[in-house]
Amino acid sequence: GFGGFAWYAINFDAINGKFSDLDQAKKSIDIIANFIDEIKEKYKTNPDKTFILGFSQGAILSYSLSFFYPNKVQHVVALSGYINQELLPKEISKEIKTDYYCSHGTVDQVLPIEWARKSSPFLKSLGLENSYFEYPVGHGVAPQNFYSFKSWIEERL
């Protein structure tokens, strides 16, 4: 809506308040997973060094993709997003080796910082490597954040 792009609809109503269209979100996860396979094949990329970076809905879907498609990507950069428990498989594979860079703005007016703060403890509870950072911005990415995740990526190349 509002002339913008989205991976899935976010709806508002008087009964349910704000809620995501989970069917659309799951279809988007599948589309992204297929696209990753196409890119790996077309460009003969190193299948052991696949990164995905997502912002907002893209971060939410990047987290989810890493659980629905274990080890399709080895590294997730999740900016201004959170792990949506409704977008996780019923059982999470114990074979996942993916690591995560997570960051969020402390004054994010779109996705509350409290939601993002749950990501690192959740990932740690699964034994998954992750780095979590906060920056004094709203729903965006601070310049310091770019340098931080750039370094994180370079360490893994």
| 37 has pLDDT over 80 | yes
Domains and CATH numbers, the chain: 10-156 (3.40.50.1820)
- Cβ-contact 71, 57 below 8 angstroms: no
- Tens of pLDDT, residue by residue over 98-149, are 999 999 999 999 899 999 999 999 999 999 999 999 999 999 999 999 999 9
Contact 127, 100 (CB under 8 A): no
Cα 19 versus chain centre, distance: 18
CB neighbour burial string for 14-33, b if at least 16 within 10 angstroms, e if fewer: eeeeeebeeeebbebbeebb
Q: Find, among 120, 131, 125, the residue nearest to 153 by Cα.
A: 131
Q: Which of 117, 91, 18, 6 is nearest to 55 (CA)?
A: 6
Read off the pLDDT of each residue in 69-97 and give the average, rounded to a whole number: 97
pLDDT of residue 21: 85
% of the chain surpassing 90 pLDDT = 85
Whether residue 47 has pLDDT greater than 70: yes
Whose CA is closest to 135, among 79, 87, 68, 75?
79
**DSSP helix, strand, coil percent of the chain (3-state; round to 5):** 40, 20, 40
Q: What is the mean pLDDT of the chain?
A: 92
For residue 46, pLDDT beyond 90: yes
DSSP string covering 98-130: -EEEEEEETT-SSS-HHHHHTHHHHHHHTT--E
Residues 6+ away with beta carbon under 8 Å from 18: 10, 11, 12
What local confidence, expressed as pLDDT, does residue 24 receive?
A: 92
Task: Record the tokens describing residue 90, joined without a space.
Answer: 């019923």
